[in-house]
Amino acid sequence: MTPEQVVEAASAVFARTGARAVDPAYVLASDIPLELSGEAVRARLCVFTDHRGNEMVMRPDLTLPVAGLEAERLASGDNGPEAYTYAARAFRLPASPDDPMEFTQVGFERFGRPSTPEEDADAFALVQSAVAACGIGDWRMVMGDLAVFPAFVDALGLAGVTADLLKRAFRQEGGVAELLAGAPSAPEVELAHRLSDAAPDAAGAMFLDALRDRGIPMIGTRSVDEIIDGLKAKAAAADAGGVPEDARQAIAALASVNCAVPDTAAALSGIAREHGLAAVDPVIDRLARRVDAIVAAVPRVGNAGRFRSGFGRRFTYYDGFVFEMFAGALSERQPIASGGRYDGLIAGLSGGRAKASGIGGVVRPDRVIRARESAS
C-alpha cells in the first residue's frame, strides 16, 4: 500500500461512523500545549514567536485543536454528543531518528457520549479496525488506566499534600521512583520555606539566584514556576511525615504491574487485598469490565495485549483508559496507533464553561508503512 492508500483506508473506517470531517487550526497559543503535554512531548514541541511577539506552537497532535473546536461549540450553546474525524498533519521534533518532524494523523474524537468501559472498548475496536484496513493483522498493544494510581494513593490515607505530590510525580517519567528514593535535603527544605514566604514575583528570582550560588545550570523542560511548586510540595510533604513504609510497599507493588491484559484485575486486586485498600475496588471493577469488553470485541488482545500500571503519560490531558499499538520492528517509542480517554479536557479548555466526556484514537500512516516494510 502507498501512503495515500493507507490514509484512505484508515479514513474510510472512521468516516463510516458518521463523524464530521475537520481540519482544525495548525497554530495554537503555546500555553495550552505546554501545560497539557508531558515532559517527553514538551521537549519536542515546535515553538515559535509570531509577529506580535506571542509564543505559538504548531499543533503537536490533532486531539487538542479538535477539542478546542468542541469546547467552542458547547460554550456557544450547541449541546449534545458530537464526533469528529480527520486526516491531517501534526508537528513534533522526532522521537526517533527515522521519524519525520511533520506527519499525518488519521483519527477520530468523540465527545459527550457515556463514559463507560463499553465505550472505551468500542473506541479501541474502531482503531483496531482501521489498523486492519491498513493491512496489519500481526500487532501487539499496551494499555493502561490513569485513574488507577490516583485511586490507590487516595486509599492509602496519606496527608493531602503528600497524596497530591505523588499524583503529580506520577505524571513525570520516573517521578514516583525519584520521590520515594529519599526525602529532600535540609538545604532544599530551607529554600522551599524561603520561597513559600516570598512574594510570587520575587520567588523566581530567589530560586535562580540559589541555582547560581550553587553553580547549578537551569536545564530541562519544566518552567521555573513548576520547579518551585514541586520543591515547595516536596518540603511540605516531608513536614507532614513523608510516605510511610507500608505505603511505599503498596506503591512499589503497583508500579511493578506488567501483565497480560486478561490478568489485570486479578493483579490489582491482589495488591489491594494485601494492603487493605478496599476503597479501590470500584476502580478495579470498572477496569475489569473494560478488559472483558475489549477482549470480547478484539479477541487477539487476550494474547497480544499487556497492561502496565505506569503506562500512558505522554500527554497529560489523558485521565483514564489509554492504549498504543505496535507492529513490525518499530520500537515502543513508535506506536502505529494510539488513543485514550480525556473526560476533563473540555472543561479545562473552556475554563469550566463547558463539560463533556472525550475519547479518541489515531493511526500513524508513516509508521504503518514502515512496520509493513520491516515485516516483509
pLDDT in tens, 230-260: 665 666 556 545 688 899 999 999 999 999 9
Please tell me the distance from the alpha carbon of residue 29 to that of residue 371, in angstroms, as a whole number: 34
Tell me which of 228, 244, 260 is where a domain ends.
Answer: 244
pLDDT in tens, 294-337: 999 999 999 999 999 988 766 789 999 999 999 999 998 899 99
pLDDT confidence of 34, banded at 50, 70, 90? confident
The whole-number pLDDT of residue 180 equals: 75
Lowest mean pLDDT among 32-36, 55-59, 70-74, 299-303: 32-36
Task: Count Cα neighbours of 269 within 13 Å in the Cβ-side half-sphere.
Answer: 12
Mean pLDDT of 189-199: 69
Domain contains 286: no
Domain contains 203: yes
Residue 54, domain CATH:
3.30.930.10
Domain contains 233: yes
Comparing 31 with 69, which gets the higher pLDDT?
69
Question: Does residue 135 share a domain with residue 57?
Answer: yes
Question: Does residue 41 share a domain with residue 17?
Answer: yes
Please tell me the distance from the alpha carbon of residue 68 to that of residue 62, in angstroms, as a whole number: 10
Question: Does residue 59 share a domain with residue 169?
Answer: no
pLDDT at 226 over 90: no
pLDDT at 220 over 80: no
Domain contains 359: yes
DSSP 3-state assignment of 219? coil
Q: What is the count of structural domains for the chain? A: 2
Mean pLDDT of 349-368: 95
Question: Does residue 226 share a domain with residue 95?
Answer: no
The whole-number pLDDT of residue 182 equals: 62
The whole-number pLDDT of residue 209 equals: 74
Which single residue is written with the C-alpha cell 532544599? 188
Domain contains 137: yes
DSSP 3-state assignment of 335? coil
The whole-number pLDDT of residue 302 equals: 97
Question: Does residue 111 share a domain with residue 89?
Answer: yes
Q: What percent of the chain has pLDDT over 70?
A: 86
Q: Which of 55-64, 285-294, 311-320 has the highest mean pLDDT?
A: 285-294
Q: Phi/psi of residue 90, each to 5°? A: -130, 165
Tell me which of 244, 265, 300 is where a domain ends.
Answer: 244
Question: Does residue 137 share a domain with residue 203?
Answer: no
Question: Does residue 120 share a domain with residue 179?
Answer: no
Question: Does residue 123 share a domain with residue 199?
Answer: no
pLDDT at 271 over 90: yes
Domain contains 253: no
Domain contains 299: no
Domain contains 52: yes
Angle between helices 148-155 and 245-255 (to 10 degrees): 160
Question: Does residue 110 share a domain with residue 82?
Answer: yes
pLDDT confidence of 144, banded at 50, 70, 90? very high
Please tell me the distance from the alpha carbon of residue 319 to that of residue 342, in angstroms, as a whole number: 5
pLDDT at 221 over 60: no
Mean pLDDT of 72-88: 95
The whole-number pLDDT of residue 44 equals: 85
| Domain boundaries, position 202 | 159-244
Question: Does residue 8 share a domain with residue 142?
Answer: yes
pLDDT at 121 over 60: yes
Please tell me the distance from the alpha carbon of residue 336 to that of residue 32, in angstroms, as a whole number: 25
Question: Does residue 142 share a domain with residue 163?
Answer: no
The whole-number pLDDT of residue 361 equals: 98
Question: Does residue 175 share a domain with residue 123?
Answer: no
Tell me which of 208, 227, 244 is where a domain ends.
Answer: 244
Which single residue is written with the C-alpha cell 500512516? 365
